[in-house]
Chain A
Amino acid sequence: MEDNNIIKEKVISKISISKFKEENKVIQKKKSYKYMKYAMAACICLMFSTGIVFAKDIESYIKKIFNNSTEAIDSAVEEGYVQELKDDFTYDNGLGIKVDNILLDDVNLIFSLSYRVEENNIESISINHFSIYTENEERIYQCDGTNQAYVGIARGMQQATLEKISEKNFKNTMILNLWENRNEFSELNIKITNLNIMYSDGNLKSLDGNWEFNIKISDTFKQSNEINYVFDGENEYIKSGYATIYPTKMIVKLELFEDYDINQIVDIALEDLSQYGMLFSLKNNERIFKHTNFDYIADNKELIIIFENIGSYMEMEDELELSLKTYNTKILLKRQNNK
């Protein structure tokens, strides 16, 4: 028969579930104000002693890490694909900034920032001058006061809408779109040197300062979860194609037959970008709508369609159908390897 250690593990598992059941019963049953007060006190004690966020609110807590995030990003965060930093605020000129969380995959570098101000009546804060470099001094992205952006490892950047947490606390998320097949990096140097501050009376102020952050990237991101699909079957317009689903984005690349003009696709697509391509999952002969595309790039004979809301930590079926409006055609993508 099995080793006693294995029996012990089984018993411990049973006891753990039983203990959780009792704890859950206590929390669910007692709804009177008197017990709620006790339960809250017990939970607060638990929070301080274990550092755990009250489990009931964990989902809303996770989704608040990156404001204006996508379902793909939220799914990745829920699976633990995120790095939490516990650094203090860096202060200069009456304003503190800290980097709270980072998420990195092959296509996106996302980080959330917290701001703490001393003044009142601030409505919004936006970053003007900043630069991000790797440990090898390779530029990821840079932006200066003339609105000039310098691409590097990142080809573009978005700042999410600023979230006002309280009178003196704000939060923001920066998303840098990365080129695939870039060099690996393991450290970030983020330097912010100028901010725009807008007050509730409409006044605008430019604030100089030096807020610098050196961040070591977590090993969590070395185990990036990717799902690959390949174009299956034949299509009169599409010669070949494949799709890669990264934790934060899905990219479809299609090579057209030479007879077809990529510019035609671009022109048509410009008319109605949001409906250019629709993605469906195929399950038991059912088509389950996934999403419309968000962006595309046309380059020579290659058409790249990007789905910002699809990520590899979401549930994805083995077969996907991509419906292309331009040619009124559908293509089948079949999964290549396991998650």
Chain B
Amino acid sequence: MNNLKELKSYINEGEVDLDKIINDFSPYIRKIINNMVGENLSYEDKEEILADTFFVLWKNQTKNIIYLDSYIAGITRNLIKEKLNKRNITYNIEDYENFISYSNMDMFLEERIEIERCLKILKRKELEIFNMFYYYSKSTKEISYELGISEMNVCTKLSRIRKKIKKEFSKGGHYGR
């Protein structure tokens, strides 16, 4: 699979169409992961790689990516390598040598680690409100209406979530805690 498939075909109103790209590429990424690691990584680790692949792709969405499937494969393989290193699992470098060109790819490692820390401390309901505001760009009024809570409640919850996240960001450190 090295077809001419441009990233811009997945851009809708200036943002990556997550639904479309996840539906189109998840099977492909899962196949790469399973072929590369087999049973060496847990189910959770594999899902994390899958989610991080799309996140890294989103972070690079302004780049002019022409061979999207190769680009995505490169991200995935770099993430697998990262995860295997973290789990102290040895791997055959030859499996990755075709993708050396991606070794300079910005994987946003620091940021991903910070985000992981934040996700561990945020409750599901908190994430729901946070995503509605920051990803779906809904107003507090709209959020309050959809969730059936007061607008003030939405404001206070967002404030608390922001505080929690800022606290995690301020901890710093390469591999977090």
Is A88 at the interface (CB under 8 A from chain B)?
no
In the complex, which residues of chain B have a beta carbon less than 8 angstroms from the beta carbon of A220?
149-150, 153
Complex contact B150–A16 (CB within 8 A): no
Is B165 at the interface (CB under 8 A from chain A)?
yes
Contact partner, A14, options B51, B156, B158, Cβ 8 Å? B51
Is B77 at the interface (CB under 8 A from chain A)?
no
Complex contact B119–A52 (CB within 8 A): no
Contact partner, A15, options B58, B118, B165, Cβ 8 Å? B58
Is B8 at the interface (CB under 8 A from chain A)?
no
Complex contact B157–A80 (CB within 8 A): yes
In the complex, which residues of chain A have a beta carbon less than 8 angstroms from the beta carbon of B159?
55, 58-59
Contact status of A51 and B139, CB under 8 A, knowing A12-B18, A58-B159, A220-B149: yes
- How far, in whole Å, are A50 and B141 apart by their CA atoms in the complex? 7
Is A297 at the interface (CB under 8 A from chain B)?
no
Contact status of A8 and B19, CB under 8 A, knowing A19-B135, A55-B158, A80-B153: yes
Complex contact A1–B46 (CB within 8 A): yes
Complex contact B155–A52 (CB within 8 A): yes
Complex contact A8–B22 (CB within 8 A): yes
Complex contact A11–B140 (CB within 8 A): no
Smallest CB separation, B47 vs chain A (Å): 6
- How far, in whole Å, are A51 and B161 apart by their CA atoms in the complex? 18
Interface size on B, residues (CB 8 A): 47
In the complex, which residues of chain B have a beta carbon less than 8 angstroms from the beta carbon of A16?
127, 130-131, 133-135
Complex contact A20–B115 (CB within 8 A): no
Smallest CB separation, B58 vs chain A (Å): 6
In the complex, which residues of chain B have a beta carbon less than 8 angstroms from the beta carbon of A13?
119, 122, 127, 130-131
Contact partner, A11, options B51, B122, B133, Cβ 8 Å? B51
Is A210 at the interface (CB under 8 A from chain B)?
no
Is B102 at the interface (CB under 8 A from chain A)?
no
Smallest CB separation, B129 vs chain A (Å): 10
Chain A 1-17 against B: per-residue CB contact (8 Å), 1 yes, 0 no? 11010111111111111
Contact status of A78 and B156, CB under 8 A, knowing A2-B47, A17-B119: yes
